[in-house]
Amino acid sequence: MPVREHHLLCGPLLEFLQAGERAAWEIEDQLARQFYVTAEERAQTYPNTGMSIWTNDVAFALKRLVQENKIRRKSRTRAPNGGRRGIYILR
């Protein structure tokens, strides 16, 4: 994976949210394009949990920005691939 330092995602994530609220999966897609993360890299998972490494990296960046009070999770909604995911907005 090209990005393992979650703080590197924070600046571009904040820029993307300037246009308005975004769902977690939209943020993942945008950052993947920006950081040239391939489909193969996005498909990599942790062997013990099966969770996508890329999804986890973006989730850590989102959590960091929430804790720093720079963004907030507005709500949760059904994700296209199942489950419920957050909708994020700038503070």
Q: Give the model's pLDDT for residue 38.
A: 95
Rounded-to-5 percentages of helix, strand, coil across the chain: 45, 20, 35
Q: What is the pLDDT of residue 1?
A: 47
In single-letter form, the type of residue at position 6 comes to H
Q: Which residues pair with 84 in a beta bridge?
A: 78
Q: pTM higher than 0.75 for the full model?
A: yes
Domains of the chain are 7-90 (1.10.10.10)
Q: How far is CA 47 from the centre of its chain?
A: 20
Type of residue found at 7: H
Adjacency order of strands within the sheet including 84-90: 22-23, 84-90, 71-78
One digit per residue, the tens of pLDDT, for the chain of length 91 reads: 455 678 899 999 999 999 999 999 999 999 999 999 999 999 999 999 998 999 999 999 999 999 999 999 987 777 677 667 889 999 9
